[in-house]
């Protein structure tokens, strides 16, 4: 049986003492490799270190648009390049655009996004991008920077079918997460897109606003998303597992477990 791959999480935000049990719960339901995404220089460094200590954690590094306070300095980009050059790093993530941006920072987000795409091209690393209320600007930046050369993944996708196909045309897979369980419009998009262009994620991070710890999103919930997609497409869940896993392995150039 193929293992599921969680292509986007923030497990670095958990206490180190929690990670072994989180990974064990994921493994017990058939989740194998788990990609952890950076949001700052410091978190990116920490994620590379996690990947060195946990074979199932895969590192992706980047500066999240919500962390952009001003145009990202050449010093920060130089530091990120050093981190991204580590052999543990498989992608540039989590980068992109998040609107509405604070006063005066929309252009800074665009410039930082562009610079990090350029880094992905320079290091031949795929890009996993974030776009909240930011299409079509996101697509314009991806096109302007020739992001299709490396391609990647549209993280936590909730856009229209038209947007989905524009992403696919640029070499990006559509990543589906828990909103697939309850958003009818997203279910319609997922039904239409061929499975060969889909990957799965949980976007796991600590959720202290949920008082019941068992309700926090973890990679162990990935099979629920796979099952929902199987029902939407009226196909066996094993087919969803096999193909989305193969898609992730290929796009992110992950060594087969």
| Average pLDDT taken over every residue of the chain | 96
Its sign, for the CA torsion 221, 38, 20, 209, is negative
Average pLDDT of the segment spanning 34-57: 97
pLDDT at 75: 82
pLDDT at 114: 97
pLDDT at 1: 47
Q: Which residues contact 180 (CB under 8 A, 6 or more apart)?
A: 186, 187, 190, 225, 228, 229, 232
pLDDT reading at 243 higher than 80: yes
Q: Is the previous residue joined to 94 through a cis bond, with omega within 30 degrees of 0?
A: yes
Q: How confident is the model at residue 256 (pLDDT cuts 50, 70, 90)?
A: confident
Average pLDDT of the segment spanning 149-165: 98
The pLDDT > 90 percentage for the chain reads 89
Distance CA 11, CA 207 (A): 12
pLDDT reading at 74 higher than 90: no
First to last CA, the chain: 12
Average pLDDT of the segment spanning 7-32: 96
Per-residue pLDDT tens for 215-233? 889 999 999 999 999 999 9
Distance CA 257, CA 239 (A): 18
Q: How far is CA 119 from CA 14, 69, 74, 103, 154, in A?
A: 28, 20, 12, 26, 18
Q: How far is CA 175 from CA 23, 35, 46, 172, 192, in A?
A: 21, 13, 24, 9, 14
pLDDT at 257: 64
pLDDT reading at 71 higher than 80: no
């Amino acid at each position: 049986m193929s293992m599921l791959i969680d292509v986007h999480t923030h497990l670095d935000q958990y206490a180190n003492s929690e990670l072994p049990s989180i990974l064990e719960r994921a493994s017990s339901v058939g989740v194998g490799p788990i990609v952890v995404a950076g949001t700052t220089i410091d978190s990116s460094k920490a994620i590379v270190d996690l990947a060195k200590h946990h074979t199932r954690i895969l590192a992706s590094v980047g500066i999240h648009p919500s962390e952009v306070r001003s145009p990202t300095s050449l010093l920060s980009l130089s530091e990120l390049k050093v981190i991204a050059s580590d052999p543990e790093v498989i992608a540039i993530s989590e980068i992109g655009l998040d609107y509405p941006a604070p006063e005066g920072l929309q252009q800074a987000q665009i410039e930082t996004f562009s610079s990090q795409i350029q880094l992905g091209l320079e290091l031949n690393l795929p890009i996993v991008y974030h776009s909240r209320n930011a299409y079509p600007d996101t697509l314009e930046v991806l096109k302007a920077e020739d992001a299709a050369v490396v391609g990647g993944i549209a993280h936590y996708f909730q856009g229209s079918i038209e947007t989905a196909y524009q992403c696919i045309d640029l070499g990006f897979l559509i990543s589906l997460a828990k909103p697939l369980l309850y958003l009818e419009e997203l279910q319609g998009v997922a039904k239409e897109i061929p499975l060969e262009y889909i990957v799965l994620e949980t976007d796991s991070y600590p959720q202290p606003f949920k008082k019941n710890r068992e309700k926090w999103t973890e990679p162990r919930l990935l099979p629920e998303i796979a099952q929902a997609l199987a029902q939407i497409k009226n196909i066996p869940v094993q087919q969803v597992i096999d193909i989305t896993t193969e898609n992730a392995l290929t796009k992110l150039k992950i060594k087969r477990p």
